Amino acid sequence: MSDPERSAVDERRARRERRAREQLAHPARLIAVGFGLAVFTGTALLSLPFATESGERASFVDALFTGTSGVCVTGLAIVDTGAEWSTFGEVVIMLLMQVGGLGIMTMATVVALILSRRLGLRARLLVQAETRALRLQDVRLVLRGIVLYSLCVEAVVTAILTVRFATHYDMSWGRAAYDGLFHAISAFNSGGLSLYSDSMSRFVRDPIVSLTVSLAVLLGSLGYLVLFELRRNWRRPREWSVFTQLTLGVTAALVVLGTALLTIAEWNNPRTFGPLDVPDKLIAGFFAAVMPRSGGLNSVDTGAMNDESLLVQTALMFIGGGSASTAGGIKVTTFGLLAFVIWAEMRGEAKVVVGRRAIPEANQRQALSVALLGIGLVMTGTLVLLGLSDYPLDRVLFEATSAFGTVGLSTGITPELDRAAQLVLVALMFVGRIGPLTLASALALRERDRRYELPEERTIVG
């Protein structure tokens, strides 16, 4: 190879490396573009004539809304999934939920690992350094672990549901396997979509189906990083990272508190828990407390719940599940960290301590930013929806929070909204899916030390 040719090759290689560095410097941009392309692909496939049962092309808004709901693993729907879409359309939705769940988990996990390595991966990934950085081989191992973990959980859930459907609900084994696979993917990936018009209400008295689906949602909402750490150190809780402690502790607290509050609030409601036996009421309460963690499926009519229950579920939907998981919301780690910040302030402590670790101030500011962004988005979405519809505030707030938290629970008003309002929900689903992660990663990546200090001045607070 001549010198000019070698020089041209080196120049092209340098350009490629420069582009790679620029992309790695902005993971938020990659996440947004990736999910945008997935939504576009899903919308295009669902717009095909043979994607519907009638054989007629679905409207653009129906295809866009369903595609966004699938990719963003939200679960809101403006058409009956089982009745509107053909087998091809249902398979597309199933694949969109799988891609969306795996995509957000892998992207969020890799971003978390980048940040945990003091952002060293961005520059060192290209040269595969051996010290204090994640190597390409490590990334492949992590991604392989995520895929295997997801597929294994989905396989087990599919097997349990298939046997249950075939032996207790008069389904053929083929139909039972198909329904089991769809709902296993929907549950683990927090998809929230169901092939049944009543979601999972027909199984409210079936503890096997209810508990299996609930546990699948919980496993998906914890995330791979937590399960990976538990696998290594499950006998030594004191050695768990702050991330794992917050995820497990806040999750357990919210599930227990949510189960108690929802069960009490709906105990005598004749349209929800009232007709159920005591064991079924407890399981239904547990199911209703787990699903706001982005699960989105329901075993009773959400629209028939009391106002107290809707308020509890709205709060749970806003908090969401674990970071680097399939769940949405501001995340339980954000909520838990802010709770420790408040506790430290009330006690007059200078440092925020979780377990045996002090939390950096930058981390506290990031949590506050994510929470306030979430509040702003939900309030803005609610305000716009109120202007575009005649529904009361509590129902509109519930739908807006469900869209932002990528949950999928609905009081039943989403299909009745006009097209403009449904497009607002599409925007909330997309921003809610990528917003907290991209904001958190962008804030962390922009973190830098100031080379000088300004004089302090206190202001009045409260």
Q: What is the pLDDT of residues 179-206, one digit of tens each?
A: 999 999 999 998 899 999 999 999 999 9
User: DSSP states of 184-223 as a string?
Assistant: HHHHHTT----SSTTTTGGGTT-HHHHHHHHHHHHHHHH-
Give per-residue pLDDT as tens, 138-157: 566 777 788 888 899 999 99
What number is the average pLDDT over the span 118-133?
36
450 domain-assigned: no
In this predicted structure, the answer to whether residue 122 has a pLDDT above a threshold of 60 is: no
C-alpha distances (whole Å) from 357 to each of 166, 249, 334, 352, 431 are 51, 15, 16, 8, 32
Phi, psi dihedral angles at 302 (to 5 degrees): -60, -40
Number of folded domains that form the chain: 1
**Entry pTM:** 0.85
116 pLDDT band, cuts 50/70/90, is low
How does DSSP assign 52-107, residue by residue?
A: BTTSSPPPHHHHHHHHHHHHTT----SS-HHHHB-HHHHHHHHHHHHHHHHHHHHH
- Geometric angle at alpha carbon 442, from 441 and 446, rounded to 5°: 115
Closest CA to 298 of 68, 71, 75: 75
Q: In percent, how much of the chain has pLDDT > 70? A: 81
- Nearest residue to 29 (alpha-carbon basis) of 457, 442, 449, 461: 442
Label residue 396 by pLDDT band (50, 70, 90).
very high
Q: What is the DSSP letter of 351?
A: S
Give Cβ neighbours of residue 67 (< 8 Å, ≥ 6 apart). 39, 41, 42, 43, 45, 46, 96
> Widest CA span of the chain, in angstroms?
85
d(CA 314, CA 399): 9
Q: Is 29 within a domain? A: yes
pLDDT of residue 113: 60
Domain-embedded: residue 269: yes
**In-domain check, residue 149:** yes
Closest by CA to 69, choosing from 324, 395, 430, is 430
Q: What is the mean pLDDT of residues 378-390?
A: 94
Structure tokens at 454: 């300004």
Alpha carbons 22 and 29: distance in angstroms, whole number? 10
pLDDT at 335 over 90: yes
Angle value at C-alpha 180, between 231 and 218, nearest 5 degrees: 35
Domain assignment present for 345: yes
What tokens were used for 307? 């106002």
Residue 10 lies in a domain: no
Q: What's the one-letter identity of residue 59?
A: S
DSSP string of 388-422, one letter each residue? H----HHHHHHHHHHHHTT-----S-GGGS-HHHH
Residue 461 inside a domain? The answer is no
Question: Are 284 and 210 a contacting pair, CB within 8 Å?
Answer: yes
Provide mean pLDDT across the span 294-315: 93
Task: Report the alpha-carbon angle 161-81-308, nearest 5.
Answer: 80
* Structure confidence at residue 118 (pLDDT): 42
Token pair, residue 33, equals 């573009």
pLDDT of residue 461: 67
Q: Cα separation of 302 and 295, whole Å? A: 13
Q: Determine the pLDDT at residue 24.
A: 47
Contact (Cβ atoms closer than 8 angstroms) between residue 157 and residue 188: yes
In a domain, 456, yes or no: no
**Which residues in 72-98 are b (16+ Cβ under 10 Å) and which e?**
bbbbbbbbebeebbbeebbbbbbbbbb
CA-derived radius of gyration, the chain: 23
For residue 377, the enclosing domain spans 16-445
The answer to whether 46 and 63 have CB atoms below 8 angstroms apart is yes
The percent of residues in the chain predicted with pLDDT above 90, rounded, is 54
pLDDT at 441 over 80: no
Closest CA to 80 of 55, 61, 62: 62
Q: At what angle do helices 224-233 and 136-168 cross, to 10 degrees?
A: 100
Would you tell me how many other CB atoms lie within 10 Å of the CB of residue 389? Answer: 18
Mean pLDDT, the chain, integer: 84
